[in-house]
Amino acid sequence: MNAAIRAVVRTAHFHGVRTSGIMGGYDGLINGHFRELGPRDVSNIIQRGGTMLRSARSEEFRTPEGRAKAADRLQQAGIDAIVAIGGDGTFTGALKMSEEHGTKVIGLPGTIDNDLAGTDLTIGFDTATNTAVEAIDKIRDTASSHDRLFFIEVMGRDTGFIALRCALAAGAEYVLIPEKLQAIEELSTALYEGSRSKSSSIVIVAEGDEEGGAYTIARKVKERFDHYDTRVTVLGHLQRGGSPSVTDRVLASRMGVAAVEQLIAGVHGVMVGIVNDEVTTTPFHQAIGKRKQINEDLLRVLAILAV
Amino acid sequence: MNAAIRAVVRTAHFHGVRTSGIMGGYDGLINGHFRELGPRDVSNIIQRGGTMLRSARSEEFRTPEGRAKAADRLQQAGIDAIVAIGGDGTFTGALKMSEEHGTKVIGLPGTIDNDLAGTDLTIGFDTATNTAVEAIDKIRDTASSHDRLFFIEVMGRDTGFIALRCALAAGAEYVLIPEKLQAIEELSTALYEGSRSKSSSIVIVAEGDEEGGAYTIARKVKERFDHYDTRVTVLGHLQRGGSPSVTDRVLASRMGVAAVEQLIAGVHGVMVGIVNDEVTTTPFHQAIGKRKQINEDLLRVLAILAV
Amino acid sequence: MNAAIRAVVRTAHFHGVRTSGIMGGYDGLINGHFRELGPRDVSNIIQRGGTMLRSARSEEFRTPEGRAKAADRLQQAGIDAIVAIGGDGTFTGALKMSEEHGTKVIGLPGTIDNDLAGTDLTIGFDTATNTAVEAIDKIRDTASSHDRLFFIEVMGRDTGFIALRCALAAGAEYVLIPEKLQAIEELSTALYEGSRSKSSSIVIVAEGDEEGGAYTIARKVKERFDHYDTRVTVLGHLQRGGSPSVTDRVLASRMGVAAVEQLIAGVHGVMVGIVNDEVTTTPFHQAIGKRKQINEDLLRVLAILAV
Amino acid sequence: MNAAIRAVVRTAHFHGVRTSGIMGGYDGLINGHFRELGPRDVSNIIQRGGTMLRSARSEEFRTPEGRAKAADRLQQAGIDAIVAIGGDGTFTGALKMSEEHGTKVIGLPGTIDNDLAGTDLTIGFDTATNTAVEAIDKIRDTASSHDRLFFIEVMGRDTGFIALRCALAAGAEYVLIPEKLQAIEELSTALYEGSRSKSSSIVIVAEGDEEGGAYTIARKVKERFDHYDTRVTVLGHLQRGGSPSVTDRVLASRMGVAAVEQLIAGVHGVMVGIVNDEVTTTPFHQAIGKRKQINEDLLRVLAILAV
């Protein structure tokens, strides 16, 4: 996120446009928590996890009254346009501001879940998967005992992008993702087969999986096939932090530059994305509405490599 | 662990003594899973997490029959002495082997919990705390929203060494450790006080705490003081893996050298330790029986810095 | 590399094909250093830096006699086809083997330099840039004194892919790459301008830059503009090691699967690549001959963000 | 450093004492660059490398006039006592301020070199060695070719503490440190012996070694024994950055608390240290004058493990 903020502020400065940071998301917008930002204010932040502009969910912004207040604040502060970084919720709010008050908003895809149509990668996805896989590597170091079975739950809301990528990169045996209904029966059979040749196995579980979280699934498997010493880990919030990866920093920088240049060119109501290494824009309603598809070939690769 | 194995093998070689690795702990001993190890077999392992000699708990070794089998195996293989790396359980087994069969065993303190008397540090403690704190740092990166309260559970069995050290290093506000009975009431009050000046707080919970695990404690606090958006993370097994820290590598190397040299000098039935930077030995029954004390001054430092 | 080896071995096994590893590159091939590899031999290597099949440059393989010996060895060992992982040199050798002895070779792009046409990314590039940027982040931590100027040399042979990506991700002020002739004069002027608003600056230098290495350039700049306390770091070989990133692991896994499946389908004499997330193949002579172009837009982004 | 600053500010606050940060070291003192610091100003810094109070060498402070100016500034600002974090140079300045102007200064040992008498560890040493060893681990990953010889230069001014600890932890074959005169002849012989059993070797060189830096030594060895493919790396400034280790954070926190409490108790003109896990104080002139000795036993351990 910080890389995107840095890029927006500096690109605006480069083109002679002033910028303010809105502190604390839409709540900050409603309450007028603005802070003018110059190019030096965003020095030395590109390597930092989190965001220098604190974020928060805003209940009030979901009401027409909240958004009206926000529109007033913008006018009072002389702010002409907003760069909003986030996912579904952020863009839904942006769309409403635009419809109700004509506010010019351009969006950057900032979510670790990588579930937005209109961009190959969302800002945060590469860092989150690297962080998760580093943790899984450490867990596997401990798998030196025989017959260990690890269930590791990663984030992803109701999509399996993080889980599938982590499973491939961590050399996991199986992955459970919402896009693919796998019967517990089938997983248990696979684990049973694998138990004859392998000393330990790792199953990655997407948090939104139909079968329940990692604890539930581990219990269900154990009921069917009680061979392994089973351990469950829920990686949780540590996936959201950490110094961003090179891919994320470059992605966020390019998108931040593009966002400002699009606004200057008169474009708004869209999310900036990068598809096949080219900057693109996608109208908010499409970015939100269309679901990105899991690459089926990656599931096939995982299955082959789990032998 | 690998650094200790490397040191034992190479020191033995240096002094003209042959070594075999026992694969899979005491179970491997009972089943004669020995593998001769030369100085090149332990090349390039000092940086690796886990142990090249898989480990496992052994039920059979807890029986006199199991230990008798083990003694036979040792005699058949022409093994004169054992270097055993582990904690309470490992040394208890070693003591019995010595009493029942005259087996010469020397111990190295290998547990992340740092709860063995007779050494300032156990092998693994420094790495585990660094790994945990890196994870906590990432979790804190996400604490940019207002009013977040994180409960993070770390390992330590029934001691608070890991928890206290992590709390100090992570800049946590509070720590719950088994050595110190803290009423939930008291913690809730402290969090309430803190909530007026701080945007978020971190509480580190030792897994063996009297009040229950992190989930239980979080629930109890929420019942008393429902101000924060509360998140719970159980770091779990990732604390046991990862490339060892410099302190652990140097510690394990020094102890491994000392173990072999003590055995050659005729010393056994003891655990090697390092106290005030000097190599020491402590009889097994003392190392196991005596409880190491938490440094009360560190609790005071934590309280001062949590203002 | 290890992720690719794992994928090749397991995919072959999956399709009922046996595999041997050639130890030590083309030299190993000439000397018949083969080692049969099954799916368990490549367990637990996906997270390791380096390659389990040691590599080495081979002078002998550059001679027709050397290659004839290699062809004999392959025939004797009953090896039908080779998967060769490397860059220009590796593929040139593969092409000659194919022309002179009809050897079936398929290539995987394994070089940190990312300079091969026919694939968006080469295996190792993402890891190397992340490793370099982590190091640069640490160097920047020390830039808390006023008026520090750091010249940091990264790898890339005669291309600037690594340097440009590192410069963007590290938030560097300038980058010197072979593809772009920058007069020292121009750099000195830019640094002079920057010195009025910034406390410290970072210049990334590609090792193959026309103006010389980082030491030479630092000296030349100092002659023109002696304002800064100047430090030079050559990152060197540390860029080649370290646990691979998620992107590299997934990339290598996908490519390894594709290589074996292409060979089974009768395709050889080509390099496997991934372009716009699709597996592709490029004949060796094209992969070697055609130069991949630097994305000019990234240079523009860097210039904007260096304000 | 940041952990120490945090501890000083919060401990002072805890005891009802106000604190200001002096920005930019003694130069900042001369120029009155003070910034009042409260407990919230040092939130969320414990995990950051570098120092939030920029540092700088000051030529002017070496003159009596400079120090007189500094004393005036302190009086004007109503500052009663200083906590100075640094090494030899910092404490020499502190001693003069005390002698010439009666300024109350207490010192914290903040140098990566670990060369100060009066404390087992200096703040920064553990982090620097961990950072260096992580880099060396990466370099070793690339040592998969036969007959590679790496010379890696680490920091340490004119002492070998960093080099020796890194050599032990990295599993290096040899170390060259200023405290131990090793003839190049002897090193060459050892490398020659080793070359018969080992595929690659690592030599750690302390920057202050008598025989010259790593480049010079590598050249001298190559003249005597030209068997290896030799690579030289100078780790340089990256050793000074990075998120501090747990040991350093705890050390700095304890020392920061002690410094303030000693000042309140009327103690000054001393450096705070921790010896055998107990807080101690050492008069500045002793801390500066007495040289800490290398632990000879560690050299012996290194020699045994290099077999």
pTM of the model: 0.95
Distance of CA B293 to the CA centre of its chain: 15
Q: Tell whether B183 lies on the interface with D, counting CB pairs under 8 A.
A: no
Give yes or no for D50 touching C (CB within 8 A): yes
B2, with CB counted inside 10 A (0-12, 13-18, 19+), is buried
Q: Is the pLDDT of residue A56 over 70?
A: yes
Which alpha helices (H) appear in A184-274, and where do they start and end? 184-194, 214-224, 246-264
User: How close is the nearest chain C Cα to the Cα of D56, in Å?
Assistant: 5
Q: Which residues of B touch A3 (CB under 8 A)?
A: none
Distance CA D5, CA D46 (A): 9
In single-letter form, the type of residue at position C20 comes to: S
pLDDT for the residue B212: 80
The backbone torsions φ and ψ at residue D55, rounded to the nearest 5 degrees and listed phi first, read -125, 165
Q: Which chain D residues are closer than 8 Å to C85 by Cβ?
A: none
Q: Domain-by-domain residue ranges, chain A?
A: 2-111+244-289, 125-240
Residue A276 φ/ψ region, left for φ over 0, alpha for ψ in the -120 to 50 degree band, beta for the rest: left
Distance CA A123, CA A250 (A): 10
- Helix (H, G, I), strand (E, B), or coil: what is residue B62? helix
The pLDDT value recorded for residue B144 is: 61
Partner chains of B (3+ C-beta pairs under 8 Å): A, D
Q: Could you say which architecture CATH assigns to the domain C2-124+244-289? A: 3-Layer(aba) Sandwich (3.40)
Q: Chains with 3 or more CB pairs closer than 8 angstroms to C?
A: A, D
Instruction: Supply the mean pLDDT for chain D.
Output: 92
**What distance in Å separates the CA atoms of residue C45 and residue D264, rounded to the nearest whole number?**
56
Measure CB to CB from residue C237 to each of D24, D54, D231 and give the nearest one.
D231
Between chains, do C138 and D145 touch, taking CB under 8 Å as contact? Answer: no
- Report residue A229's pLDDT band, with 50, 70 and 90 as the boundaries: confident
Confidence of residue A269 (pLDDT cuts 50, 70, 90): very high
Segment A123-152 shows an average pLDDT of: 90
Owner of token pair 């430090």: C231
What phi-psi label fits residue B236: left (phi over 0), alpha (psi between -120 and 50 degrees) or beta? left
For chain C, 307 residues long, give each residue's pLDDT as a single digit of tens: 899 999 999 999 999 999 999 998 999 999 999 999 999 999 999 999 988 888 778 899 999 999 999 999 999 999 999 999 999 999 999 999 999 999 999 999 999 999 999 999 999 999 999 999 999 999 988 876 567 899 999 999 889 999 999 999 999 999 999 988 777 888 888 888 888 777 788 999 999 877 788 999 999 998 888 878 888 999 989 999 999 999 999 999 999 999 999 999 999 999 999 999 999 999 999 988 887 899 999 999 999 999 8
Distance CA D192, CA A259 (A): 61
Residue A145 predicted with pLDDT over 70:
no
Query: Tokens 């560190």 appear where?
Result: B298
- Sign of the CA dihedral with A200 first, then B207, B303, and B142 last: positive
Chain A residues with CB under 8 Å of B145 CB are: 24, 54-57
Token look-up 């230069």 returns D153
How is C124-165 classified by DSSP, letter by letter?
THHHHHHHHHHHHHHHHHTTTSTTEEEEEEE--TT--HHHHH
E strand or H helix at C270: strand C270-275
Interface of D with B in 268-297 (CB under 8 A): 276-277, 295, 297
Q: Provide, as residue numbers in chain B, all residues whose Cβ is less than 8 Å from the Cβ of A237.
A: 138-139, 142, 150, 231, 233
What is the rounded CA–CA span in Å between residue B167 and residue A189? 43
Asked if D113 is an active-site residue, the reply is yes
Pairing of strands B270-275, B278-283: antiparallel
Q: Are residues D114 and D166 in contact, defined by beta-carbon separation less than 8 angstroms?
A: no
Question: For A144, which of B55, B145, B150 is closest by C-beta distance?
Answer: B55
d(CA B28, CA B51): 14
Cβ neighbours of D54 in C, within 8 Å:
144-146, 199
Who's near A40: CB < 8 A, 6+ residues apart? C197, C198
Which chain B positions have a beta carbon within 8 Å of D274's beta carbon? none
Does A125-240 match A2-111+244-289 at the fold level? Answer: yes
Task: Report the alpha-carbon distance of residue A126 to residue A120 in Å, rounded.
Answer: 11
DSSP state of A186: H
Q: What is the mean pLDDT of residues A178-206?
A: 85
Placement of tokens 């022309």 in the chain: C99
> Reduced to 3 states, what is the DSSP secondary structure of residue B106?
strand
pLDDT, greater one: A285 or A225: A285
How far does the CA of residue D38 sit from the closest CA of chain C (Å)? 21
DSSP codes, A95-133: HHHHHHH--EEEEEEB-TT--BTT-S--BTHHHHHHHHH
Asked if residue C148 lies in contact with residue C194, where contact means CB atoms within 8 angstroms, the answer is: no
Asked if the Cβ–Cβ distance from D234 to C238 is below 8 Å, we say: no
Residue-level pLDDT at A290? 82
Q: What is the pLDDT of residues D4-27, one digit of tens each?
A: 999 999 999 999 999 999 998 999
Q: How far apart are CA A67 and CA A88, in angstroms?
A: 17
Which architecture does CATH list for B125-240?
3-Layer(aba) Sandwich (3.40)
Contact D146 C48 (CB under 8 A): no
User: What pLDDT score was predicted for residue A297?
Assistant: 94
Q: What is the ipTM of this complex?
A: 0.95
In angstroms, rounded to a whole number, what is the distance separating the alpha carbons of residues B151 and B206? Answer: 10
H or E stretch covering A204: strand A200-206
CATH for the stretch A2-111+244-289: 3.40.50.450
> Nearest-CA neighbor of A86 among A40, A46, A123?
A123
| Nearest Cα to Cα of residue D125 among D278, D23, D289, D255 | D255
Residue D285 DSSP SS3: helix
Nearest-angstrom CA–CA distance, A242 and B181: 33
Minimum distance, in Å, between the CA of residue A201 and any CA atom of chain B: 15
Q: What are the Cα distances from residue D255, in Å, to A185, B298, C16, C204, D19?
A: 58, 11, 64, 38, 16
Q: Tell me what the mean pLDDT of segment B167-173 comes to.
A: 96
pLDDT in tens, D123-139: 999 999 999 999 999 99
Within 125-154 of D, beta carbons closer than 8 Å to B belong to 126, 129-130, 133-134, 137, 140
CA distance to partner chain D, nearest, from residue B15 (Å)? 9
User: Which of B56, B141, B146 is closest, CB to CB, to A50?
Assistant: B141
Q: Which of A199, A201, A218 is nearest to A209 (CA)?
A: A218
Of the partner residues B14, B39, B305, the one whose CB lies closest to the CB of residue D6: B305
What is the predicted pLDDT for the residue at A144? 61
Contacts of A303 (CB under 8 A, 6+ apart): none
pLDDT confidence tier of residue D144, bands split at 50, 70 and 90: low
**Is A245–C130 a contact, with Cβ atoms under 8 angstroms apart?**
yes
Fold topology of C126-240: Rossmann fold (3.40.50)
Cα(A50)–Cα(B137) distance, integer angstroms: 11
Decide if D39 touches B, using CB distance below 8 A: yes
A175-203: average pLDDT: 85
Measure the CA–CA gap between B252 and B7, rounded to whole angstroms. 8
Torsions phi, psi for A118 (to 5 deg): 100, 0
Decide: residue D295, CB within 10 A, 0-12 exposed, 13-18 middle, 19+ buried.
middle
**How far is the C-alpha of A26 from the C-alpha of B290, rounded, in Å?**
57
State the count of interchain CB pairs (< 8 A) between B and D: 122
- Tens of pLDDT, residues D185-228: 888 888 888 877 777 889 999 998 777 889 999 999 988 888 78
> B295 and D277: CB-CB below 8 Å?
yes
Q: Is C230 on the interface with D (CB under 8 A)?
A: no
Q: Answer whether A277 sits within 8 Å of C120, measured CB to CB.
A: yes
Specify the higher pLDDT residue, D178 or B183: D178
Chain D: partners with 3+ C-beta pairs within 8 Å: B, C
Contact yes or no for D301 and B257 at CB 8 A? yes
